[in-house]
Structure 1
């Protein structure tokens, strides 16, 4: 059963862990202070930069940042680095009281919708401590291992979201059984559907006569679905938890309607209906580029007419790595053996920015964060090509396509837009504010990489905004504290080339 809500999630985790995996109890307790600091650092970044209505002023000095709240209180902490990925915030002070736990801080702030967010932060801390406690000395995969092996070494989750490791609704036992960071294998079930909507070439091994067999996650089968579930097959969970790698086969994206980081995930009927069209269109678009960028093709998608019973099957990214090469998700680059040369980050930055800008100029904005974007490294560890997966959240501009003589795909809905702000937010927010920022690890390192490659980047109409304007990123904490507000909320971070006054 899922762990019940409790005012002290850390203690609830410890209690359950003592029953289901007592050997992890002591490592879990040792991991808690670091996990609190990791989540508090992410929260402090949000408080420093997001447009939260109850923060009326931000004052900086040599020693730190002071947030002046609408009710007259003051919140004090260290100077924030918007691109830092280390846990440098161990405590903040609200008036005269010191807070080390992010959930307790949000509770004390007493802001609208803060109760639910506080509970999620507590879950994020405890889950992160559990993930760190269950690490082994064998953290780095062999050089020839599949990409899923790299993904299962990513312990800390989202580099900037305070809910980086939240697993709301999952018991401790279920986290250990299903979480990719616990290096597990998951046995998927199968639900036979008579009148499924199918697009693309649904794999032959997922048919039972005329009925479609839809793979389902065991958590979904246990807690959500009311349908007979057949014995399925084993697969390795990837970073997103709900997408799994079939041994020597494709990747299967399942519907897993649990809250992970920002939102409740599922697979919409719209995504299934458009999956084949989007995949074919993107395969054509990457062929037009003069940059080595590939997509993982969608092989088939199916739904029973409900976002809670659907699946997408796509090819593995490993097929784009040659002999002696390895395909690594960008989020896992910190775990790889990279060349010890100053130019490596510049080479990687040049490759990903060139690909992103070229594709945006043609008319497609990729959501190229560290989970969706993978890089193929050669024998020496140099980046040689990119692989992009999960096409559900790209944006397509018919006007930009028309300027290049490219027929627009037969698509409608949220994926289609000519709005310049929306297109740039999609790419810049994910690629710079996510993948590149996390890979660089600090504003100083990102600035150095930008300066090294700026002259080499394609002179597209979007380049001045990339190099000279504050950079958009999703306001992830604002989104969690804006209950009922649909869609994404955004903020702007200082551009590393423009200095701290650019926000």
Structure 2
């Protein structure tokens, strides 16, 4: 019998009060949620450069981790690209454990207590997300309906559904997978930074109206918030789609998955320049990729009170086409030819490598990257959104005669490793890996897709080196280390004995 964690029990008590009809489905969903989070955690333990893992041994009966203190952790083989829950239980010195938070607590690693609390929250939130799904469902029609099909969150992060600071009632009211309609607040300000064209409908005379997420209004802001527009929450939770209108990215100063979701003043300052620049660069992809434009951005001098208005991706669909976030591809049965995954991989790699060669590395994970599907379900183009985390190489741009924008800060780098990590880690280790769902399926798709691609130095690096990916668990266990920490995954298109040398 699994003893319920504190968040699991607390969620059950809250559900009994606010949605008693979900109490039984929630309890039934808990074992599967634990297995899903434990599988993500086991993937991290198997592949990330954790300092307290001394060595790893793969055998016929699974994978054994020898810890620096002499203990032994055993579990199944960890496919780095699997998206199913394959680790319902692991053993620590022969003692079985099916609870990810309990495992981290038992390991006693530095900074493990805070991470264990997040894992417990992730399990409870994931069970809640699964419990609230309808038994039957019609096919999505609008873009926001596709977004709300993504129930399990990040396919590889153990904190896939961690929402500390959100009550059960707030998750039900604001979580996209629960399919609510959210009434945004509106803060009127006199003095603010504006870039781009702030819409007239978000002005009140001489004052600027900043859309405010209701959670932010209640828990963070001192500024009075008045009634704003209603909208549908998207995958990131803080970004919402207006009915028949643009998307609004709001500040949300809490930790979701890994990051605190405010909007930096730096990103507001750069938003118009980056948007115009990316519109120019995307024109060099010969129609492979469009970028949603930032229409306007505003900050009242604080990351806690800011907003961005940008185009909806659907505007790039032609008659009969659908625009689907890559993260949603696995959530419904779409018509697919036998070679569909290879066709999609070829399209995504062609666009991503072309932009990388020009001097732009996209953060092309399943949330930022969308695919345009024809009426028959064939992938025909891509749409990219949210430009805050791209990387721009002035040297590469100059080689192609493209004007270098007036950018500064972390976005600008000529470091080849940093540029390739940004694209490969998000596109292969994220979007394509999660769509394939296993190393075998990803290997088959990539092996076919790369045959038709130009042989550039970037493609050579992709084919000949282990695949970089963010070490998401190590990053959560390293609060004093700024920036990203990277792991090296077995490359699905390399020979296994070469690809896994860093294992």
Q: Report matched runs for 1:133-282 at 5 Å.
A: 133-142=131-140, 145-282=141-278
> What residue in structure 1 maps to residue 324 of structure 2?
328
Segment of structure 1 superposing worse, 174-183 or 287-296: 287-296
> What residue in structure 2 maps to residue 106 of structure 1?
104
String of CA shifts for 1:443-476, please: whole Å, max 9, x gaps.
Answer: 0000001111221012222001111210100000
Segment of structure 1 superposing worse, 419-428 or 204-213: 204-213
Aligned mate of 2:63, from 44, 50, 65: 65
Which secondary structure does the structure 1 equivalent of 2:443 belong to?
Answer: helix
Residues 139 and 153 in structure 1, CA contact (< 8 A), matched pair in contact too: no
> What residue in structure 2 maps to residue 432 of structure 1?
428
String of CA shifts for 1:99-141, please: whole Å, max 9, x gaps.
Answer: 0010010010010100000000000000000010011034453
**Distance of 1:192 and 1:227 partners within structure 2:** 9
Shift of 1:288: 1.4
The question of 1:342 aligning with 2:338 is answered yes
Shift of 1:500: 3.2
Residues 197 and 305 in structure 1, CA contact (< 8 A), matched pair in contact too: yes
In structure 2, stretches of 5+ residues that fail to align are none
Residues 336 and 377 in structure 2, CA contact (< 8 A), matched pair in contact too: no
**Distance of 1:285 and 1:396 partners within structure 2:** 11
Aligned mate of 1:487, from 483, 488, 491: 483
Aligned mate of 2:12, from 7, 11, 14: 14
> What residue in structure 2 maps to residue 132 of structure 1?
130
**Distance of 1:206 and 1:488 partners within structure 2:** 36
Which secondary structure does the structure 2 equivalent of 1:111 belong to?
Answer: coil
**Distance of 2:494 and 2:161 partners within structure 1:** 32
Say if 1:308 and 1:232 are closer, same or farther in 2 by CA, change over 3 A.
same
TM-score, normalised by the number of residues in structure 1: 0.97
Residues 349 and 436 in structure 1, CA contact (< 8 A), matched pair in contact too: yes
Residues 268 and 298 in structure 2, CA contact (< 8 A), matched pair in contact too: yes
> What residue in structure 2 maps to residue 37 of structure 1?
35
Aligned mate of 1:498, from 473, 494, 497: 494
Shift of 1:320: 0.8
> What residue in structure 2 maps to residue 83 of structure 1?
81
Q: Report matched runs for 1:413-424 at 5 Å.
A: 413-424=409-420
Shift of 1:7: 5.4
> What residue in structure 2 maps to residue 3 of structure 1?
none
Shift of 1:291: 4.2
Which secondary structure does the structure 2 equivalent of 1:75 belong to?
Answer: strand
Shift of 1:153: 1.1
> What residue in structure 2 maps to residue 299 of structure 1?
295
Segment of structure 1 superposing worse, 422-431 or 286-295: 286-295
Aligned mate of 2:310, from 311, 314, 325: 314
Aligned mate of 2:373, from 377, 398, 421: 377
Which secondary structure does the structure 2 equivalent of 1:414 belong to?
Answer: helix
The question of 1:410 aligning with 2:406 is answered yes
Segment of structure 1 superposing worse, 247-256 or 290-299: 290-299
Which secondary structure does the structure 1 equivalent of 2:410 belong to?
Answer: coil
**Distance of 1:341 and 1:272 partners within structure 2:** 42
Residues 358 and 458 in structure 1, CA contact (< 8 A), matched pair in contact too: no
Residues 140 and 336 in structure 1, CA contact (< 8 A), matched pair in contact too: no
Say if 1:140 and 1:476 are closer, same or farther in 2 by CA, change over 3 A.
farther
Residues 140 and 335 in structure 1, CA contact (< 8 A), matched pair in contact too: no
**Distance of 2:22 and 2:213 partners within structure 1:** 26
> What residue in structure 1 maps to residue 446 of structure 2?
450
Which secondary structure does the structure 1 equivalent of 2:194 belong to?
Answer: strand
String of CA shifts for 1:287-307, please: whole Å, max 9, x gaps.
Answer: 111242000000000000000
**Distance of 2:333 and 2:350 partners within structure 1:** 24
String of CA shifts for 1:212-252, please: whole Å, max 9, x gaps.
Answer: 11001000000000011111110000000000001111000
**Distance of 2:440 and 2:493 partners within structure 1:** 10
Residues 357 and 458 in structure 1, CA contact (< 8 A), matched pair in contact too: no
String of CA shifts for 1:350-407, please: whole Å, max 9, x gaps.
Answer: 0000000000000000000000000011111001110000000000000000000111
**Distance of 2:5 and 2:139 partners within structure 1:** 38
**Distance of 1:104 and 1:253 partners within structure 2:** 35
**Distance of 1:458 and 1:81 partners within structure 2:** 29
In structure 1, stretches of 5+ residues that fail to align are 1-5
**Distance of 2:86 and 2:96 partners within structure 1:** 16
Runs (4+) of structure 1 exceeding 4 A deviation are: none
**Distance of 2:82 and 2:10 partners within structure 1:** 31
> What residue in structure 2 maps to residue 122 of structure 1?
120
Which secondary structure does the structure 1 equivalent of 2:252 belong to?
Answer: coil
Shift of 1:340: 4.1
**Distance of 1:115 and 1:358 partners within structure 2:** 43
String of CA shifts for 1:27-72, please: whole Å, max 9, x gaps.
Answer: 0011001000000000000000001111010011111000011111
Which secondary structure does the structure 2 equivalent of 1:353 belong to?
Answer: helix
